[in-house]
């Protein structure tokens, strides 16, 4: 694979997911404004940010394939950001208890040399059990999910919070929809099972 592959993210969760494809890649944090625009829905926000993240790295990487991804969680019409601390994580989980949370994960692949870019939004929904205060506080104490939208880590103890999951790719929930990414890479001539051969 001659063209460098770059992940436009500083997220350790996304890096770990991308490593599953066993392709060599670099990563860098894009510096963009992540605030929602007035009236912007969760899916539109996720898509815009994924595209902007890829585009932000294109300036300094003119001959690369750049992956942008961003995730926006939504519960009861409210966008859930990363809580950042214990009290906000507890408050988020209290909001989610007994309700569904939909994760909108934007994905974009940009060829910075040609300017070709393909993008989409994948969704994944989790249905929370009705949780009591002791359960919520215990979970937050054990996992400290302060850097996770929705205040949980599905790859850890977070799985105990749910009644069911609904979506096509569990990786979408963690933050990088790998099944769709493999489709995109194939469109751009890269096969993770044979990276030396153009598709």
User: Considering the entire predicted model, what is its pTM?
Assistant: 0.90
Residues with Cβ within 8 Å of residue 146, at least 6 apart in sequence: 82, 83, 84, 85, 86, 88, 89
What digits encode the pLDDT tens for the residues 135-181? 999 999 999 999 988 899 888 899 999 999 999 999 999 899 999 99
Q: What pLDDT does 198 receive?
A: 56
The number of beta carbons lying within 10 Å of the beta carbon of residue 31 is 9
CA distance 153 to 138: 14
Q: What pLDDT does 199 receive?
A: 44
What digits encode the pLDDT tens for the residues 74-112? 999 899 988 999 999 999 999 999 999 999 999 999 999
CATH number of 5-187: 3.90.950.10
Query: Would residue 70 show up in a list of annotated catalytic residues for this protein?
Result: yes
What digits encode the pLDDT tens for the residues 4-42? 999 999 899 999 999 999 999 999 999 898 888 999 999
The one catalytic residue among 43, 70, 166, 183: 70
- Please, what is the Cα angle at 176 between 143 and 18, to 5 degrees? 95
- Please, what is the Cα angle at 108 between 78 and 113, to 5 degrees? 150
Most distant CA atoms of the chain, gap in Å: 54
Residues with Cβ within 8 Å of residue 100, at least 6 apart in sequence: 75, 125, 126, 127, 128
């Amino acid at each position: 694979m001659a063209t460098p592959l770059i992940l436009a993210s500083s997220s350790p969760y996304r890096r770990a997911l991308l490593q599953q494809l066993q392709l060599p890649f670099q990563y860098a944090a894009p510096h963009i404004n992540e605030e929602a625009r007035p009236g912007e829905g969760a899916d539109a926000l996720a898509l815009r940010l994924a595209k902007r993240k890829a585009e932000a790295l294109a300036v300094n990487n003119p001959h690369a394939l750049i992956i942008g991804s961003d995730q926006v969680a939504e519960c009861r019409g409210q966008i859930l950001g990363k809580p950042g601390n214990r009290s906000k994580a507890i408050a988020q989980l209290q909001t989610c208890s007994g309700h569904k949370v939909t994760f909108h994960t934007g994905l974009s692949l940009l060829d910075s040399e040609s300017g070709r870019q393909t993008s989409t939004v994948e969704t994944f929904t989790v249905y929370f059990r009705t949780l009591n205060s002791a359960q919520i506080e215990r979970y937050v104490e054990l996992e400290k999910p302060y850097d996770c939208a929705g205040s949980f880590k599905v790859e850890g103890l977070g799985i105990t919070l749910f009644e069911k999951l609904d979506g096509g790719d569990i990786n979408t929930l963690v933050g990088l929809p790998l099944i769709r990414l493999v489709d995109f890479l194939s469109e751009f001539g890269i096969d993770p099972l044979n990276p030396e051969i153009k598709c």
